[in-house]
Structure 1
Amino acid sequence: MTQETILIVGAGLSGAVIGRELAQKGYRIEIVDSRAHIAGNCHTERDAATGVMVHVYGPHIFHTDDQEVWDYVNGFTTFMPYKNRVKTTSGGQVYSLPVNLHTINQFFGKTLRPDEARTFLESEADTSIADPQTFEEQALRFVGKGLYEAFFKGYTQKQWGCSPTALPASILKRLPVRFNYEDNYFFHKYQGMPANGYTEMIAGILDHPNITVRLTTDFRREAADGYSHIFYSGPLDGYFDYELGRLGYRTLDFERFTYDGDYQGCAVMNYGDVSVPYTRITEHKHFSPWEEHRGSVCYREFSRACEPGDIPYYPIRLVEEKAQLADYVARAEQEAGVTFVGRLGTYRYLDMDVTIREALDTARLYLARRAENAAMPTFLNPPL
């Protein structure tokens, strides 16, 4: 059993999982995090007044087809069944998302069957667009102007802070259209919420005698000497003190409010109209439907460009950012003894299950490379 010490920057999912896997193999693990709590952006805590479990940095819903990842998280907490059923307010009416047969029939005032709805939407689509390049072209080609303007145009403009004509078509490819009445937003085999929140789950992962966690501790490169290896899950550009400029992110502002009763009757209500400044309202007690609470805690979400000091949420990854990212990747690959991991470290938007999968694979690769006395790569999954 080794007694080498590894430094992990970030006590979120990536850092916790890598740390746990290596601690179990005898490595001493030191984890530092600049925040005053563990779990990163999936940090949860109970509201003292209402008892509601609040997703402090916005809701995180666990969904995966990865059996091993599902078994892994269930080893540290109890997951309760949860289906994400999103509603949207547009033009003074409430609809179901993702766009499904109910949405189509309601929006157009029809009673179409599945095959009829497919034919109808094709008649609505702009078939002159042979190879959609932008978000707007993709939407117009596959759902037509009506559904696009009601459900996608305004919301996307608010979310990304730019016209949908400036966004790649690939963003919309992740949004399904269903020709049945299924309103579960996700279609993965395993879906759920941890019974007592994500912070308790990550605390369980970190609960190992070989792991030491230091919070409210900023990482500095000059303090990295003496460690066998560093796994860095902070911002890629931040590792280099933003020497090549800041990579583009969107951040979120939350306007928190409470309500005596049930405010909106669902966990997530999107607002597709540009005239409404926020993108959605989340009502957190509905993320724990197995609990009962009289009071309610809600967030209005506002999206804007990330500035220094803000929490980065969504990497923009447009042409300008990708060029800058390439420069940072080249710089990172000149570093020895550090592997960049996670959403911030690789400048990629990752769901929780993918984050855990990559963390498990990273830890296993490290063990294999150490056994071979071979170098660890800078990136397990290159950002470009």
Structure 2
Amino acid sequence: MKILLVGAGLSGAVIGRHLAEAGHDCRIIDARPHIAGNCHTERDAETGVMLHVYGPHIFHTDDEGVWDYVNRFARFLPYQNRVKTTAQGRVHSLPINLLTINQFFGTTLRPDEARAFIESKADTSITDPQTFEEQALRFVGPELYEAFFKGYTEKQWGCSPTELPASILKRLPVRFNYDDNYFFHRFQGMPQDGYSAMVAAILDHSCITVELNTEYRPEMAAEADHVFWSGPLDGYFDYRLGRLGYRTLDFERFSDKGDYQGCAVMNYGDRDVPYTRITEHKHFSPWESHEGTVCYREYSRAAEPGDTPYYPIRLVEEKALLEQYIDLAHATPGVTFVGRLGTYRYLDMDVTIREALDTATRFVAADGDMSAFAVSPV
């Protein structure tokens, strides 16, 4: 079959590779001048530092099959994400752990003591947290919430934590030991030569052609037996019902000599600091050595037409519009919507790859008889 895949990020590359290995002719297009989507990496010409162009991407998973898959196309070296935060004039360790608690409150609590201490701070009158703020107040109390979550969240999402669902905070752990590894998955690492090199290896197949700087045109679908769309769901329909809400990021690059901040990621929790964090990219490749350094200040704001969409907002208004686009998608034959943008969901890289592998496997098994969504967006 002739397959058109719109987007040369992880979803398009993984699906394309699997279908190519099954003998299908895969044409992959991307409007951008590079492959790998938002996990695109490139060498900085000035310093030689490997840059995560659209913000840091750290690979972590418990899915052994996905771990084996990425290691088939790249050499992964060990990497653990150890985040720091500057809040109220002091530096603390994230996620909140025993060191954070003892430093913040000036205590020397042991794990059981710290657990009881935090419970005493918590608002136990909140029995069924519905909002981000209620979730935070119930589980860490007002002091830690104000220092580490409230201001950062207002900057990241552009609204009050009282307007966000509790589920956003449920992903963030609180630990009553000194483990400051941000993730808890079995497999964690970074591709030695960057994500773009990994995606290039995935795309390296005789049945795959890649066309960059190429916008999708509706007539392209007529030349294919099936289309896999990893662009914005509403974008496929030319936003005819309105635009789904996204947050986007602006990056302010600066360079320096030596080591600027001593860590890869420094969050800024105070509301009066306009950026959410500073990332220092040489620390994402600790096996390399560079005299110079490159940093980015990150600013979050609502995405506008023409911006790169990052985080789906998925609040009440967006979910209602999403349902309408899902109905449109189901009424559109020959197209399957995949990935973070195509299904309007926040997806980590490992989940993106797993869903892409499963989608391609189903497509091959069904001889191309594929529904609009292999994974439901709701």
1:223 Cα offset (Å): 2.4
Q: Where do residues 231-380 of structure 1 align in structure 2 (5 Å cutoff)? A: 231-370=228-367, 375-380=369-374
Unaligned runs of 5+ in 2: none
The one-letter amino acid of 1:205's match is I
**1:247–1:325 contact (8 Å) kept in structure 2:** yes
User: Are residue 9 (structure 1) and residue 9 (structure 2) matched?
Assistant: no
Q: Distance in 2 between matches of 1:381 and 1:25?
A: 21
Confirm whether residue 204 of structure 1 aligns to residue 198 of structure 2: no
For 2:314, the aligned partner's letter is R
Separation of aligned partners in 2, 1:25 and 1:347: 28
Structural mapping, 1:1-384, within 5 Å: 4-370=1-367, 375-384=369-378
Q: Distance in 1 between matches of 2:365 and 2:220?
A: 27
Secondary structure class of the residue paired with 2:142: helix
Give the aligned CA root-mean-square deviation in angstroms: 0.6
The separation in 1 between residues aligned to 2:218 and 2:159, in whole angstroms, is: 35
| TM-score normalised according to structure 2 size | 0.99
Kindly provide the amino acid, as one letter, of the partner of residue 378 in structure 1.
Answer: A
TM-fit CA distance, 1:132: 0.7
Q: Secondary structure at the match of 1:327?
A: helix
Note the alpha carbon deviations across 1:335-376, whole angstroms, 9 max, x for none.
Answer: 001100000000000000000000000000000110xxx721
Unaligned runs of 5+ in 1: none
Q: Which amino acid aligns with 1:381?
A: V
Give the Cα separation in 1 of the matches to 2:88 and 2:220.
55
Percent identical? 75
Instruction: Please list the CA deviations of residues 150-200 of structure 1 after superposition, one character each: whole Å capped at 9, or x if unmatched.
Output: 000000000000000000011000000000000000000000000010000
Structure 1 runs, 4 residues or longer, greater than 4 Å off:
none
- Alpha-carbon distance in structure 1 between the residues aligned to 2:306 and 2:338: 21
Show CA shifts across 1:124-150 (max 9, x none).
Answer: 001111111100000000000000000
How many residue pairs get aligned? The number is 378
Deviations 1:36-83 (A, max 9, x none): 000000000000110100000000000000001000000011001000
Q: Which amino acid aligns with 1:368?
A: A
Cα distance in structure 1, aligned partners of 2:218 and 2:117: 59
